[in-house]
């Protein structure tokens, strides 16, 4: 598949042909389930001019159905463009196809989707990761040049690692969340999934910057990263020893090899530890569930999407709509969130989690005071099989290396570094100081180059 950078040189005609080609290919590869929308049967080829980019089903595109892969939102058509989409359109890109996801971005396998599952293009018996599994599968199978995903606790970086593409989540506040359907407002961030680091920088540049429509958008200067990319900087990189120790043997081996390559290139490698990841898991799932329980209270059958047929009284209408519309994982989190916010438990759980979050943030701050970047795993293992039965708790442990980055509001990127014995992808994660995306992308480009040349 051609890259975004190459597509930037395409004429209008060439872009229309490219879209036709993608549409045909996506129809043939329906089995992968990367796209959810009936867009496959529609002719969207010249409806919006620009370079086609696949969009996760939780980002508003004007006049497109928006469902977050949930029954409760089916039939809802977005009346406006998210700010990120508006920026994309203004910069020569066009939304092209709805990517499948875990319902309301809750999950790590894209198995929690009302449309059914998405397959991992590297091995159809494996999950593509999640929640942006459709976005990752589309890029990795050549059904999209690039895609947008969202990352609340790893949902861009983890599926990118499972499917073998680049997944970049900028610092919280860099890309406007206006028009992104909220799961956990203090953690959600739009990110990009691309074929290489340069494309990630290009797509990020086309969306980032302050937005007055989003009160959490960072009101700081934004300079484009792609024109300033430098893959030859020598950096001080902190390797997180306790994270690497916990990873599976094959992941660990690939990471250790990569560290040697980084050293021989001339980077200064130092070894540090972060908190035991069990504290991150507890903190994240309390805060994310608490925020989700309030954010999802708006889906009541009155304002958005579907309403239950069973509606003898107002109360019954609310209850039946939510009961029929939400899947099990979403209900589990609403219950958990409501519990940790209830008056008897608020101090014991929610307030404690907020304190732990500050602690986690400070840990990162300490390390990044003396270092340019952090190097660590993305996932403990490579893509797991659809047959692996996991409890909710085991699913939550999929995110041990990604969620603390969201809790700290930092930028992170996952870069392919090797393969396991079954030819599945292994990636490494780089993390930067808040808003230092330039150094993150420079380091990532260097890592990509080192891996290519090894």
Q: Which residues are catalytic?
A: 56, 131, 155
Does residue 29 have a cis peptide bond before it, meaning omega lies within 30 degrees of 0? no
Q: How far apart are alpha carbons 251 and 267 in whole angstroms?
A: 21
Among 70, 152, 295, 434, binds ligand GLN (CB under 6 A): 152
Is position 411 an interface residue for ligand GLN (rule: CB under 6 A)? no
Is position 337 an interface residue for ligand GLN (rule: CB under 6 A)? no
Is position 154 an interface residue for ligand GLN (rule: CB under 6 A)? yes
Q: Which residues contact 384 (CB under 8 A, 6 or more apart)?
A: 109, 126, 127, 390
Site stretch for ligand GLN (CB under 6 A), options 146-154, 236-244, 343-351, 419-427: 146-154
Backbone angles phi, psi at 361, to 5 degrees: -55, -45
Is position 107 an interface residue for ligand GLN (rule: CB under 6 A)? yes
Terminal-residue alpha carbon distance, the chain: 23
| Count, residues near ligand GLN per rule CB under 6 A | 13
* DSSP annotation string for 264-325: HHT-EEEEE----HHHHHHHHHHHHHHHHHHHGGG-SSSSSS---S--SSHHHHHHHHHHHH
Site stretch for ligand GLN (CB under 6 A), options 76-84, 148-156, 160-168, 420-428: 148-156
3-state SS class at 420:
coil
On the 0-12 / 13-18 / 19+ scale of CB atoms within 10 A, 453 is: exposed
Is position 108 an interface residue for ligand GLN (rule: CB under 6 A)? yes
Structure tokens at 1: 């598949």
Judged by CB, which is closer to ligand GLN: 407, or 424? 407
Is position 153 an interface residue for ligand GLN (rule: CB under 6 A)? yes
Which of 284, 247, 62 is CA-nearest to residue 151? 284
Among 399, 436, 437, 442, binds ligand GLN (CB under 6 A): 399
The answer to whether 430 and 413 are in contact (CB under 8 A) is yes
Q: How far does Cα 401 stand from its chain's mean position? A: 14
DSSP state of 12: H
Is position 129 an interface residue for ligand GLN (rule: CB under 6 A)? no
Is position 175 an interface residue for ligand GLN (rule: CB under 6 A)? no
Which of 139, 72, 107 is CA-nearest to residue 298? 72
Residue 184 CB, nearest approach to ligand GLN (Å): 8
Site string for ligand GLN, 256-295 (x = CB under 6 A): --------------------------------x-------
* Extended beta strands in 303-432, E state: 373-377, 411-419, 425-432
Site stretch for ligand GLN (CB under 6 A), options 101-109, 170-178, 254-262, 412-420: 101-109
Site stretch for ligand GLN (CB under 6 A), options 48-56, 152-160, 341-349, 382-390: 152-160
Judged by CB, which is closer to ligand GLN: 152, or 425? 152
Among 37, 151, 372, 442, binds ligand GLN (CB under 6 A): 151
Residue 213 CB, nearest approach to ligand GLN (Å): 22
Judged by CB, which is closer to ligand GLN: 107, or 416? 107
Residue 147 CB, nearest approach to ligand GLN (Å): 15
Is position 327 an interface residue for ligand GLN (rule: CB under 6 A)? no
Residue 152 CB, nearest approach to ligand GLN (Å): 3
On the 0-12 / 13-18 / 19+ scale of CB atoms within 10 A, 449 is: middle
């Amino acid at each position: 598949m051609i890259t975004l950078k190459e597509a930037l040189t395409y004429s209008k005609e060439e872009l229309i042909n490219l879209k036709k080609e993608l549409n045909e290919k996506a129809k043939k590869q329906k089995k992968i389930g990367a796209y959810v929308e009936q867009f496959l049967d529609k002719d969207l080829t010249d409806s919006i001019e620009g370079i086609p980019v696949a969009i996760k089903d939780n980002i508003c595109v004007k006049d497109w159905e928006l469902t977050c892969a949930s029954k409760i939102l089916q039939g809802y058509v977005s009346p406006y463009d998210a700010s990120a989409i508006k920026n994309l359109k203004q910069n020569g890109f066009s939304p092209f196809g709805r990517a499948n996801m875990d319902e309301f971005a809750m999950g790590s396998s894209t198995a929690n989707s009302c449309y059914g599952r998405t397959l991992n293009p590297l091995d159809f018996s494996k999950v593509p990761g999640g929640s942006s599994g459709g976005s990752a599968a589309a890029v990795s199978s050549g059904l999209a040049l690039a895609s947008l995903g969202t990352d609340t606790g790893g949902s861009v970086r983890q599926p990118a690692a499972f499917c073998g593409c680049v997944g970049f989540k900028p610092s919280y506040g860099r890309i406007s969340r206006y028009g992104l359907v909220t799961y956990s407002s203090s953690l959600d961030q739009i990110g990009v999934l691309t074929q290489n680091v340069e494309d990630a920088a290009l797509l990020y540049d086309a969306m980032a910057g302050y937005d007055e429509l989003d009160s959490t958008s960072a009101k700081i200067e934004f300079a484009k990263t792609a024109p300033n990319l430098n893959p030859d900087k020598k950096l001080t990189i902190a390797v997180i020893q306790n994270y690497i120790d916990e990873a599976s043997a094959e992941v660990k081996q690939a990471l250790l090899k990569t560290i040697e390559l980084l050293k021989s290139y001339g980077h200064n490698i130092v070894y540090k530890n972060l908190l035991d990841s069990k504290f991150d898991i507890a903190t994240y799932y309390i805060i994310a569930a608490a925020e989700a329980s309030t954010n999802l209270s708006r889906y009541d059958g009155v304002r958005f999407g579907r309403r239950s047929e069973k509606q003898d009284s107002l109360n019954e209408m609310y209850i039946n709509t939510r009961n029929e519309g939400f899947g099990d994982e979403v209900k589990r989190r609403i219950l958990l969130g409501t519990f940790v916010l209830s008056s008897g438990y608020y101090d014991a759980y929610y307030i404690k989690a907020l304190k732990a979050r500050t602690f986690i943030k400070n840990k990162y701050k300490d390390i990044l005071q003396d270092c340019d970047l952090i190097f660590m795993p993305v996932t403990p293992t490579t893509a797991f099989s659809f047959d692996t039965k996991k409890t909710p708790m085991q699913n939550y442990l999929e995110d041990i290396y990604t969620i603390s980055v969201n809790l700290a509001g930092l930028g992170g990127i996952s870069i392919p570094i090797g393969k396991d014995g079954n030819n599945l992808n292994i990636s490494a994660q780089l993390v930067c100081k808040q808003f230092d995306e330039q150094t993150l992308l420079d380091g990532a480009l260097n890592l990509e180059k080192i891996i290519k040349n090894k």
